[in-house]
Amino acid sequence: MNSTPDAHDDKPQPGDGPAGTAAPDGATSPVTGQAPAEQPGTAAGSSGDTGTAGGSAQVAPGQPSPGQVPAGQVPPAQVAPQVGGVPGVPVQMGAVPAAPVAPVAPVVKTRKPLPQPVLATLLVGGSFGGIAAIMAGLLAVLSPAPEDVQGSKPVPGGEVALQGAGTFLPPTVGPGGPGTALTAAAPTAPPPLPALQPLPPLTITTAPASAASTKVKKAASAKPVKIRIPAIGVYATVGSVGVAKSGEIGTPPLSRPSLAAWYRLGPAPGELGPAVILGHVNTRTGSAVFNRLRELKRGNKIEVRRADGKSAIFTVDGVEQVGKTTFPTNRVYGNVSTAALRLITCGGAYNAKNHSYTDNIVVYATMTGTRNAK
């Protein structure tokens, strides 16, 4: 049961104790834990008078002495020098100081996870991007440097570049065939290697005669008269041509599109060296004798029947398409160690203004058999 404190109850006095607070009788200090000692100059008893040594002023009965707080009121808060290790923090005397507030950690916002379709799209796109980067790196590594291309030497099975042409040409004549893009070999490339084992050149047998007549008879007996190419359905008569007024090799007359022509100033078919037979690809009236010559391929057979009754059988070694302005004269007409054959016709783009083609189709073949004509 609570009661109102009497006027003689001890109240905080100025200068009481280190903390400036007085505890009730018989109580202990909340700060020091010890009972307060009786202060000098304080009158004891129940009269309520308060005196001080040395003739201090008298206090009227019922009035609070200086430094006292009227009954029923709470003493004001004071600042202690240091309580609980926190200097200068205002606390109410006789109460337990509040603990210091710990700092609050900042709130980190978490990202919302991506939807599954978006994540899958990003993964697929990243995979393709990585593959593209790898392929680009491989192309950059495997592509020859510009300084390596210029002046490079032919490598078997590889490609070389013409100086300043910017076009890569194979070091050998290709095998040809339907559906195969024909290209020219490098200018210094030799004729293609024989597809089969070559046979020695044919010998010419003539009756004893004078030296002058022997040469004429020899040429007449070796002259080709027929040509047959089963792979492209050719069976045609063979005439002869020389050199035109322009200095170029002659061609058969356009009026006879089914006629082939042998270059009579070169070897005859079956003799040592390259025999040359030419034919048109087409004329104003339609297809000509060598219209399908570009379809021949390595291994196809060509039979040429001669005036002496013998047939020379040739095997195709390779086919190429060359520009007329860069015609490989040495490769086509140069000396060889076997009985060889060259078939030539036009190809490439047609120039309507000049009524001519830009390229030539050249077939290389080697004699690999003979037989007597029936």
The confidence score (pLDDT) of residue 159 equals 36
Q: Give CA–CA dist 47/44, Å, rounded.
A: 8
The confidence score (pLDDT) of residue 55 equals 44
The confidence score (pLDDT) of residue 239 equals 97
Averaged pLDDT in 10-residue chunks for the chain of 374 residues: 45 44 43 43 41 45 54 51 47 50 59 69 75 75 44 36 56 91 93 96 61 56 96 97 91 95 97 98 94 97 96 98 95 97 96 90 98 78
DSSP per-residue letters across 59-113: --TTSPPTT---TT-PPPPEE-SEETTEET-EE-TTSPPPPPPPPPPPPPPPPPP
The confidence score (pLDDT) of residue 115 equals 72
Element (H, E) at 372: strand 356-372
The confidence score (pLDDT) of residue 348 equals 93
Pick the CATH number of 179-205+225-372 from 2.130.10.10, 3.50.50.60, 2.40.260.10, 1.10.150.570: 2.40.260.10
User: Closest Cα to residue 171, out of 184, 318, 336?
Assistant: 184
The confidence score (pLDDT) of residue 126 equals 75
The confidence score (pLDDT) of residue 105 equals 58
CA distances from 146 to 27, 129, 149 (A): 105, 28, 5
Q: Give CA–CA dist 234/295, Å, rounded.
A: 12
- Report domain extents, the chain: 179-205+225-372
The confidence score (pLDDT) of residue 162 equals 37
Q: Which residues of 252-268 are buried (b: 16+ CB within 10 A; e: fewer)?
A: beeebbebbbbbbeebb
The confidence score (pLDDT) of residue 135 equals 76
User: What single letter denotes the amino acid at residue 25?
Assistant: D
Contact 239, 262 (CB under 8 A): yes
